[in-house]
Chains A and B, each alone.
Chain A
Amino acid sequence: MEASRNDDPNLNPIRNRNPNPTPAPNLISSAQVWPTIDGPLGLTEEASVDYARRFYKFGFALLPWLWFVNCFYFWPVLRHSRAFPQIRNYVVRSAIGFSVFTALLSAWALTFSIGGEQLFGPVYDKLVMYNVADRLGLQNLGFSSRSHVTRHIRQNLPHDPPLRGSQNPIRRFCNTMAEQETLSSFGQHEDASNHQVMDFPGGKVAFTPEIRFISESDKERVPCYRVLDDNGQLITNSQFVQVSEEVAVKIYSDMVTLQIMDNIFYEAQRQGRLSFYATAIGEEAINIASAAALTPQDVIFPQYREPGVLLWRGFTLQEFANQCFGNKSDYGKGRQMPVHYGSNKLNYFTVSATIATQLPNAVGAAYSLKMDRKDACAVTYFGDGGTSEGDFHAALNFAAVMEAPVLFICRNNGWAISTPTSDQFRSDGVVVKGRAYGIRSIRVDGNDALAMYSAVHTAREMAIREQRPILIEALTYRVGHHSTSDDSTRYRSSDEIEWWNKARNPLSRFRTWIESNGWWSDEAESDLRSRIKKEMLEALRVAEKTEKPNLKNMFSDVYDVPPSNLMEQELLVRQTVNSHPQDYPSDVPL
């Protein structure tokens, strides 16, 4: 007996067991349609609905084969479009889902067998799994790197550079087998004739089919870090390193001292009391604030416009005067020109007049500090003109390669004697050159003492902690002449000089700020100025009167011990002096 479709749900399939039901389509009303492929031996309609639903829903848990099971098991439902509407719902959807899955799978397989780039073009490269892995840094797990053999042996460098130039061995292996393109090489296929990426020492280099030159300059210049605006007001939301009242007052007092010292020495030269002088007017903030951010163990390699660093560290006005007069109290024993200070006690290396030769020296000192693992760095100063010297480029490159903790502070003051920066270089200043050598750089407003302090402070920490060089370009202006042998009004307008001196004066800006904190007053200012001036004039007077070093100092210190030829030559000089005493200066003792 065949039951109708609308049988009561409690129909017991076992009762109507018929192993091979074949419901005839034109006898719908009397045809026996079972929901499952097992027919009368399969599930009931109710149970089927349940299963169909479950399979359908679980298929979404990335199990598309459950959908296939649905279609397969409930095939009769699919076949007979009007049978079992509830089950059909799920089964049809499963069918759709499975078809979509099949389509995707075949598309993927087909892609690999035909060739990704040909089908997709350049975007293919971003899709492939090994490139994705690469970008996520997941490659080379468990494979030994074939990078430069010395990387294994470099134990003394505190920070080994990351393994560069390492290649994915699987892909490299596949490249040589590019001719054998099989469906089975999923994810490892690379089209031999169309490499998108080249492994080059230093890392991967992507190719581009467009002729694209890197522009010679960015549309916008590198912004300049500053904390105090032109009027000395703190800019809102500015990041800076906080200074205590004591430090801030010392910074300001030293800036004033430097200014007064420069003016008095300059006047002394003009009066004929000194032979030569070079001022640092306009660059006081760079001098003092950068020195304030360093520790006494940091070694300084100056150019010649950084006496403020010595001043900060405790060089007295008398000591400055002694060097300028070259008297016997001068630590340089009267051998160098004025302003060529040096003090091993204060870790300030004797100024060598040649431009930029101190840069490689600084790298060497940093290398020495690195070897000794000292908590100190080397700091070197130079001007915009100095960046044209070969030594600048070599030193930066060396510092980057050696990972030496050195701060390169460039005082970009606009002029190299009479050469403006537009005739010195065509790049966006000096800061962009750091990138070329792999050096972190920053551009700072050199006339903002607080910004200078913060920048140097931060840079120093980075340099020592990460054992790397840092380039700081401080924008400023050389208010004074290049030296007493120069008259800068011959090549620049006095209006320009005046403007920088008044509107961008580093002292007045910083003074406004410390006064706003209640740390300074007019009274303190006038007290300081009169005291320093008095001290300065006294120092000058004393230094002028002090005796010059003995003649033997002309021949000593050339070597550790004077060799015979020098002793002979000294003897000759003394003989000459004896025979012509009237030509010999009276203030140089024999």
Chain B
Amino acid sequence: MSSIIHGAGAATTTLSTFNSIDSKILVAPSRTNLSVRSQRYIVAGSDASKKNFGSGLRVRHSQKLIPNAVATKEADTSVSTGHELLLFEALQEGLEEEMDRDPHVCVMGEDVGHYGGSYKVTKGLADKFGDLRVLDTPICENAFTGMGIGAAMTGLRPVIEGMNMGFLLLAFNQISNNCGMLHYTSGGQFTIPVVIRGPGGVGRQLGAEHSQRLESYFQSIPGIQMVACSTPYNAKGLMKAAIRSENPVILFEHVLLYNLKEKIPDEDYICNLEEAEMVRPGEHITILTYSRMRYHVMQAAKTLVNKGYDPEVIDIRSLKPFDLHTIGNSVKKTHRVLIVEECMRTGGIGASLTAAINENFHDYLDAPVMCLSSQDVPTPYAGTLEEWTVVQPAQIVTAVEQLCQ
């Protein structure tokens, strides 16, 4: 049994780039059934070379040294043309396409109408779809979230924008009690297909109240799904998948990632909501991250590669539920896990992920799971202090070196 699993693990390293593309193109629009997805994996032959790193990890020169720190997407041969845009434009494009496709999709939030949204994600939509479909609301997060839930129960598919994720704390009551629970307590009679989205995370000197990481507070609410986007590609894909999903989905964006530029395909595509993204396949250590920390990790990965390490970087993307399948396969391959997150130490996503990995993959670990996260302090305003509150690439490199001893 274990050899087959290892075999699957070996197969996944070579197939990993294809797998992540697989999920992007082949998945049917509204199926998020995990059992369908799991059938994709091929059981390959055994891999004696995989076992027994031993106490010392020597650089494995027998394996090809991967010079690139970032996974290249040349494998998508089907995507030869595309268009380049910024992340917030990708979000806007996804939203616009869904609003075109389904007249029930509507947007509500503060300043989303003619102002175009505080981060311009809803720019131009009010002119195109009218004031009723792109609704400017008074300032009461609980009320417009509640409104979105009521509208969803009567057949609309609202996309609720929180100007900043931190403000959604005011909407916690509606999100937890109504959004998360009503599908269950009504016996399945009423569905709540809302998308709650907004920018969160630590920005550039935005102050403590505007630098919150809500994913750690929301992760316990039963009935909701949480995803975090990190590139224009997955931003658009996740936005579209979230809108099409019948469950309430919270889409976490990051304030500092809105201006990332990338080329994305022209055709219609969605990203699976429950799937993690393999950013860089590797052998020595699994680094799990999401949102902005992905870029810090990739920066650290460059340094690590120069130092001779081969980290496997996975952008977990799906914060609730965790994609334990991809993560598990990676852990079984590398046996070392480092979690890099922006959440606070206590009760963050990293804390839950650590627990989940320890519970499920304890036997495969050669070292304790390490988690790098922000300190348990409100984010200071001073730029220098703020920098130290967030995990920096240097710390990641140190942590990897420490884990791989």
Contact = CB atoms under 8 A, between A and B. Distances in A.
18 contacts: A153-B131, A332-B185, A332-B189, A333-B187, A349-B190, A350-B187, A357-B146, A360-B150, A361-B153, A364-B146, A364-B151, A367-B147, A394-B140, A395-B147, A397-B143, A558-B222, A559-B247, A564-B34
A557 B143 contact: no
A354 interface: yes
Interface in A207-257: none
B152 A560 contact: no
Given A349-B190, A361-B147, 13 more contacts: A332-B186, A343-B189, A344-B186, A344-B189, A357-B174, A360-B143, A360-B149, A361-B153, A364-B149, A378-B150, A397-B138, A397-B143, A557-B187
Contacts, number: 178
Contacts of A157: 131-132
Contacts of A149: 114
A560 B182 CA distance: 12
B43 interface: no
A366 B33 CA distance: 33
User: Across chains A and B, which 4 residue pairs bring their CB atoms closest together, nearest first?
Assistant: A360-B146, A364-B150, A361-B150, A394-B143
A163 to B, nearest CB: 16
Nearest to A351: B185
A299 interface: yes
Contacts of B181: 352
B185 A368 contact: no
Interface in B135-183: 135, 137-138, 140, 142-156, 158, 173-174, 177-178, 181-183
B277 interface: no
Nearest to B132: A156
B24 to A, nearest CB: 20
A360 B34 contact: no
Interface stretch (A117-125, A258-266, A305-313, A334-342): A334-342
Given A368-B151, A368-B155, A558-B223, A361 B127 contact: no
A350 B182 CA distance: 7
B32 interface: yes
Contacts of A402: 135, 137
Interface of B: 32-34, 106, 113-114, 126-127, 130-133, 135, 137-138, 140, 142-156, 158, 173-174, 177-178, 181-191, 222-223, 225, 245-247, 274, 321-322, 324-325
A362 interface: yes
A370 interface: yes
A390 interface: yes
Contacts of A564: 34, 321, 324-325
B154 A365 contact: yes
B75 to A, nearest CB: 28
B141 to A, nearest CB: 9
Which of A149, A349, A367 counts the most B-chain CB atoms under 10 A from its CB?
A: A367
A267 B339 CA distance: 57
Which of B150, B187, B189, B274 counts the most A-chain CB atoms under 10 A from its CB?
A: B150
A560 B246 contact: yes
A390 B321 CA distance: 32
B187 A398 contact: no
Interface string A381-413: 000000000110011011001100000000000
A360 B147 contact: yes
A89 interface: no
B237 to A, nearest CB: 19
B177 A331 contact: no
Contacts of A330: 187
A408 to B, nearest CB: 13
A48 B245 CA distance: 99
Contact of B143 (A150, A349, A363, A560): A363
A155 B113 CA distance: 13
Contacts of A358: 150
A560 B247 contact: yes
Contacts of A557: 183-184, 187-188
A299 B142 CA distance: 21
Contact of A365 (B144, B150, B184, B322): B150
A342 B142 contact: no
Contacts of B127: 153
Given A150-B113, A360-B144, A363-B147, A352 B178 contact: yes
A370 B133 CA distance: 11
A367 B149 CA distance: 11
Contact of A367 (B126, B151, B274, B324): B151
B130 A156 contact: yes
A359 interface: yes
Which of A330, A336, A359, A564 counts the most B-chain CB atoms under 10 A from its CB?
A: A564
A278 B182 CA distance: 20
Contact of B156 (A150, A371, A390, A397): A371
Given A331-B189, A370-B132, A397-B140, A354 B177 contact: yes
Which of B135, B173, B186 counts the most A-chain CB atoms under 10 A from its CB?
A: B186
A561 B33 CA distance: 7
Given A299-B154, A332-B185, A401-B138, A563 B274 contact: yes
Interface string A555-573: 0111111011100000000
A493 B120 CA distance: 60
A394 B152 CA distance: 19
A150 B33 CA distance: 44
Contacts of B223: 558-559
B102 to A, nearest CB: 13
A146 B33 CA distance: 55
A388 to B, nearest CB: 14
A352 B182 contact: yes
Nearest to A392: B143
Interface in A525-572: 556-561, 563-565
A398 B131 contact: no
B144 A155 contact: no
B33 A357 contact: no
Contacts of B143: 360, 363, 391, 394-395, 397-398
A561 B321 contact: no
B153 A335 contact: no
B188 A556 contact: yes
B189 A361 contact: no
A154 interface: yes
Nearest to B32: A561
A301 interface: yes
Contacts of A398: 137-138, 140, 143-144, 147
A371 B133 contact: yes
A563 B318 CA distance: 12
A45 to B, nearest CB: 80
Contacts of A354: 173, 177-178
Interface in A437-478: none
B131 A150 contact: yes
Given A360-B144, A361-B146, A342 B187 contact: yes
Contacts of B130: 155-156
Contacts of A361: 146-147, 149-150, 153, 178
A331 B144 contact: no
Given A367-B147, A398-B138, A150 B114 contact: yes
A331 B185 CA distance: 9
A369 interface: yes
B321 A349 contact: no
Given A154-B131, A365-B150, A365-B151, A394 B142 contact: yes
Interface in A116-164: 149-150, 153-157
A154 B133 CA distance: 11
A291 B167 CA distance: 37
Nearest to B113: A150
A557 B336 CA distance: 36
A153 B133 CA distance: 13
B321 A363 contact: no
Contacts of A563: 34, 274, 321
Contacts of B137: 398, 401-402
A333 B186 CA distance: 8
